[in-house]
Amino acid sequence: MIQIDQPQIREFADKRSKRAEAILQKGEPQLLDEFTYLVSSQFDSNKKYKVTHIDSYSCECQDFERRCKGKGLYCKHIKAILLFEKLKVSYEVEQNPIRKELDLMIEKPLNDCCPYCASKNIIKFGVRKTQLGNKQRYNCQECKKKFVLSPIPKIKGNAKLVCLAMDCFYRGLSYRDISAQFKEFYGLSISHITIRNWVLKFSKLMETYEKTIQPQSQGNVWNADETMVRTKKGNRKKGADYEYKWNVMDKQTKFLLASKLSGHSRKSKDAQKVMMEAYKQNGKIPFQIIVDGYAGYQDGVRKTFRNWGNERKVKFTSIKGHRKEINNNEIENLNGHQKEFDKVRRGINETQTYADGFKTFHNFVRKGVKDKLTPAERWGIGVRGNAWETILLNSIKHQPQLTGEQNVSKTTD
């Protein structure tokens, strides 16, 4: 057996760390299940190694079997996984060493490769003329597909136009107003129906992605309240119809943890559903929940957190009869903003989708008047650059089926 001294061990460890960085630059590891990753070879892109982590890390490569196994050492593939996981962890903010921040980076979903098979064997194939100018077309030599390199394929505009449309809509403009603005200021003829499709599609996509993001410091006090939303689902002869919207907000940061529609139902099971949604987003049982006088909240909190007898974990506080000592102003103020948004629409059909989009706007885009911070920034989630564009591109990256191929996410910069 070959004996290796300490300086050589350190030298090999440094080399493996640099090779691990080179592996990650080529693409992200593929998650097979909760215990197994598939890591590409550094030199042969067609070859991959399984890295398993149950009680300890193990790899099927020869370096791990011969030199690392049983010695507490890691091969370059395991180091790549450790580095990959480390990049997801938040870092210390310089202004406040206690607070941690999770950085969302805008990453280009496509990097000069085919969106269908991820091959880099592509050639230019003519030009497509659009209102935004000429777009270079490409042809893949492997799968013979033709495409345009764009983070959001198969739409009339681009990412910036989509983000501008969504920002205008959730700030109060109607679809027709946004369409008129595009025509007036940019000379673009984009139908209000197209804009509506953008808003509905990407509002749902962003909400799905946001549910995967959790802060480093979870909220301990929640505000909960329900309000009524005007819809067009009812009988038009009898006038407008209404549905109940349930909101749960972190009291300190004003981060909207959950916003769910329950139709005409206003029961304790609906309160339980929104509490469970908020619990999943927060990642931690709160110390206190403040609600209004509706009695169904108590039963909903009980069943969600097993809050009874000796197992009582959450302090349940109703403002009924105690308005001088405590209030629910934070979330009632949110309900007021949502009613202003709904009032312009004069009734909507896709109530849950619009609630999801408004949740994104409230948490990541809208800044406070005094501190000029969004609820997400107060909650420990920093977003670089344009908030809409950052979340949109990261949502697409984590939902690669929109681009037609799951391997697209491996080609990011």
What tens digit of pLDDT does each residue of 217-270 get? 566 899 999 998 888 776 555 556 888 999 999 998 899 999 999 988 899 999
What pLDDT is stored for residue 246 in this prediction?
A: 94
Q: What token pair was written down for 139?
A: 């042809």
What average pLDDT does this structure show over 102-119? 52
Domain boundaries along the sequence of the chain = 6-88, 122-210+394-411, 221-348
What pLDDT is stored for residue 376 in this prediction?
A: 87
CA angle 411, 364, 386 (to 5 degrees): 55
Element (H, E) at 23: helix 6-26
Mention the CATH class of domain 221-348. Answer: alpha beta
Q: Which of 277, 226, 287 has the alpha carbon at shortest distance from 251? A: 287
pLDDT-based confidence at residue 4 (cuts at 50, 70, 90): low
- Output the average pLDDT for the chain: 78
Least confident window among 74-78, 114-118, 179-183: 114-118
Contacts 24+ apart (CB under 8 A), 190-193: 190/156, 190/157, 190/161
What tens digit of pLDDT does each residue of 349-362 get? 888 999 999 999 99
Buried-exposed string 60-80: b where 16+ CB fall within 10 A, e elsewhere: ebebbeeebeeeebbbbbbbb
CA-CA distance, 399 to 407, in Å (whole number)?
Answer: 11
More confident residue, 165 or 311: 165
What pLDDT is stored for residue 218 in this prediction?
A: 63
Element (H, E) at 278: helix 268-282
According to DSSP, the β-strands at 57-59 and 288-291 are unpaired
Q: What token pair was written down for 330?
A: 């934070």
What pLDDT is stored for residue 190 in this prediction?
A: 87
